[in-house]
Chain A
């Protein structure tokens, strides 16, 4: 591994630079370190930093650009040596080495903080480039308004997004129908009725549901909930009496994925709403009790209306989670893209299709693979809008009572 050796050489040069810089600072003080502006440590650190930072930047840049190993090695070691050569002579008795080092460290801190921006730029760029490629091969309008999804890796696919969006929204709706009432009532009970010890036990227990990886929920949907629902709504269940063959024919269905996703979202809704309900000022409650309202009347007529914007924000955040969720739908919802109203039928979602289009053997330049980027772009835009809107509502609501 030449890269490891190169990194090793740079580290060795930095250590040597540190020793040299420190020694020179000592020397310039004439044996009394107290006359120096900065501690000798800072002089050493400055030389070491000037050796390794430029070298590492050069190394990473050239590697990403794909230069030959020889050029990379020469340029990297050269950068380290130049760094030492430039910084070493500056060290003297009155040189403010600490200020220089701190400026450098500050630069590093800013760079670390900028990684969040870089990640977003990376996401947007990689989505846009490939989406543009896709729309060169496949018409824009047919993608957004097509009602059929039938990819074939031999070419000649129909790639309309509407059935996928419908599947995504339908599953998310069922998930929210499970999670919002349960989560909201749980939050109300925990914040208004439960005693402190009960609350301190129940709340972490509910949050365990949020800590379980989604692959576990996916397997639960596929192997437990799916077969269970088939046994009730399937050909051998009670619904077979109403319609021939029952309502449900396979374990993977909108209902299966929606139910399980709802379970996953319960703690998400409950802990967000709990925070929001707790932020409603006590004076509103006291006022309500004072004019003779019962606890439930206070909650229904005072607290919930006051907390409503925040709760809407929480529900929107949960919806964005549901729309972006992958593993549960990949395992639990089925693979067929359908525009149907029957919740017991298999449907598929945007995320599930991103996975299936990119894990096949398709060529990366074919429309069948590139469509995944267009799907991801759509997903990214939808969730981003939901998140920004929800966070704005929540923040605005918080400010109202602060």
Chain B
């Protein structure tokens, strides 16, 4: 105890504690600034997310709409079925060149009904409808020969320029240099639209149809590429899940701490960070050059993606195995199970939800991967043919959803950009679905010990 007092204590304080001095003010201001910067950073991240998603939706949603022209086509038996016996083999001899004039006659009728016709030549009208119109009609006749001799209304794709005009992509004042469309044709389009012969409808062909050549943007669909992706995912699932689980079980439950185990661990963590394009090089050199597997085949794509996804699946499976408490293993061993039995009968079933979640996330990653597919020939290839039978789907050349999107993005006609954005919407819906399943699995089955 001391009686000494601080000399200043006798005076009244110069300022109140409630009144901040300059230094405290500065420190508080810097505190606030720092916090605001954090909020701004998060805001930037979220703004980019919103911008990205809204760009996709705004640009891509129009791909699901398509302009159709209703054309009554008289299927002239004298031209389509010369023998008159409706034999399917004979009908196939009539090519699209035979059908094209019939479609044009039908179109002429529609145009004349709208009050046009004299000033537009036949080739002018050809630009209104898709180049695929004749084959569209032919396919339907081959499927149902009884239509021959009747006048049938066909919903024919309008050409991509007409489609673009209705969607606001093609403008009247910008088409002076465009060989494929003229102002007179757009006038015609407007009046056909008033008549109701020309209308917009939902575009099923885009979702289920095949890709089309450069000049037929209106006909291009992502269906075949979707099938290619499906086959690849099948390969990845069948190979990566068992191999990944087996590797994780070994590393987590059996491996002793030695050089070999270390080597595997280092390899896995490095493979997880190897650029995906390098896996494409591996696929090209090992599977195509060395093993002579067919180019552009979903089987090869699936193998490459399997090698790429394995590290992801192994890492998440090991986490799931690690989460099962040791007491489960001890109890199994205690009642006389072998080490192998304790793992396969007890630990593995308990870890299964975690393993499946990890696998689905790995699959989703593989589904969106593009770069390795470019190197094994899944682009530059117009995927038009449906594989014949289930097994053929693995080896016959095909594309995949992301590769198809890349293919469209590279083409010159802006009509394909719309398809590319639309393809992205479909791809993202798949990814969203897979991630939702993973989240639900985790919520529903995850056990905490």
List residues of A whose CB falls within 8 A of some B CB: 1, 4, 64, 66, 98, 102, 105-106, 108-117, 119-120, 122-123, 126-127, 129-130, 181-186, 188-190, 193, 202, 205-206, 208-209, 211-220, 222-224, 263, 266-267, 270, 294-297, 299-300, 317, 320-321, 323-327, 330-331, 351, 354-355, 358-359, 364, 372-373, 376, 379-380, 383-384, 387-388, 391
Contacts and interface: CB of A to CB of B under 8 A. Distances in A.
B41 A387 contact: no
A223 B406 CA distance: 12
Given A113-B264, A383-B275, A388-B270, 18 more contacts: A105-B340, A109-B247, A109-B249, A116-B264, A119-B267, A120-B270, A126-B284, A185-B40, A206-B45, A213-B369, A215-B405, A223-B421, A323-B275, A326-B277, A355-B277, A359-B374, A373-B281, A380-B275
Contact of B282 (A122, A355, A364, A391): A122
A186 B28 CA distance: 20
A116 B246 contact: no
B246 A113 contact: yes
Interface in B220-267: 242-244, 246-247, 249-251, 254-255, 263-264, 267
Contacts of B375: 354-355, 358-359
Given A185-B37, A364-B289, A372-B281, A219 B424 contact: yes
A267 B48 CA distance: 11
B275 to A, nearest CB: 3
Contacts of B247: 109, 112-113, 115-116
Given A110-B250, A213-B402, A296-B30, A116 B311 contact: yes
Contact of B340 (A106, A320, A325): A106
Given A189-B35, A189-B39, A379-B275, A359 B268 contact: no
Given A112-B250, A123-B282, A211-B364, A64 B291 contact: yes
B324 interface: no
B255 A113 contact: yes
Contacts of A372: 281
Contacts of A109: 246-247, 249-250, 254
Contact of A126 (B270, B285, B371): B285
Interface of B: 27-28, 30-31, 33-35, 37-42, 44-46, 48-49, 52, 55-56, 59, 242-244, 246-247, 249-251, 254-255, 263-264, 267-271, 273-279, 281-282, 284-286, 289-292, 307, 310-311, 314, 338-340, 364-365, 367-371, 374-375, 377, 379-380, 391, 402, 405-406, 409, 417, 420-421, 424, 427-428, 431, 435
A211 B282 contact: no
A219 B421 contact: yes
Contacts of A317: 273
5 contacts: A189-B38, A214-B369, A263-B48, A295-B34, A359-B374
Q: Is the interface of A mostly helix, strand, loop or mixed?
A: helix
B409 A216 contact: no
Contacts of A206: 42, 45-46, 49
A387 B267 CA distance: 11
B52 A220 contact: yes
Main secondary structure of the interface of B (DSSP, over half): helix
Contact of A213 (B286, B291, B370, B379): B370
Interface centre among A98, A182, A297 (most CB of B within 10 A): A182
Given A109-B247, A213-B431, A267 B45 contact: yes
A108 B246 contact: yes
Contacts of B290: 64, 126
B409 A222 contact: yes
Contacts of A297: 27, 30-31
B52 A212 contact: yes
A212 B48 CA distance: 12
A294 B42 contact: no
A181 to B, nearest CB: 7
A195 to B, nearest CB: 13
Contacts of B52: 209, 212, 216-217, 220, 263
B338 A126 contact: no
A286 B55 CA distance: 45
Nearest to A105: B340
Contacts of A223: 59, 409, 417, 420-421
A185 B43 CA distance: 11
Contacts of A376: 277-278, 281
Nearest to A103: B340
B267 to A, nearest CB: 4
A209 B420 contact: no
Task: Give the top 5 A-B pairs by smallest Cβ distance, nearest first.
Answer: A324-B275, A189-B38, A213-B368, A126-B285, A185-B41
A109 B394 CA distance: 27
Nearest to B372: A326
Nearest to B32: A296
Contacts of A388: 270
Contacts of A190: 38, 42
Contacts of A4: 391
Contacts of B244: 112
Nearest to A262: B48
A313 to B, nearest CB: 12
A156 B36 CA distance: 58
Nearest to B361: A211
Contacts of B310: 115-116, 119
A113 to B, nearest CB: 4
A270 B45 contact: yes
Contacts of A267: 45
Contacts of B424: 215-216, 219
B46 A130 contact: no
A120 B281 contact: no
Contacts of A122: 282, 286
A96 to B, nearest CB: 11
A126 B286 contact: yes
A213 B427 contact: yes
A324 B280 CA distance: 12
Nearest to B272: A387
A182 to B, nearest CB: 5
A117 B368 contact: no
B277 A354 contact: yes
Contacts of B405: 215, 219
Given A4-B391, A112-B247, A295-B31, A208 B277 contact: no
B277 A209 contact: no
Contact of A117 (B264, B279, B338, B402): B264
Nearest to A266: B45
A98 B336 CA distance: 13
Contacts of A387: 270, 273-274
B371 to A, nearest CB: 4
A215 B391 contact: no
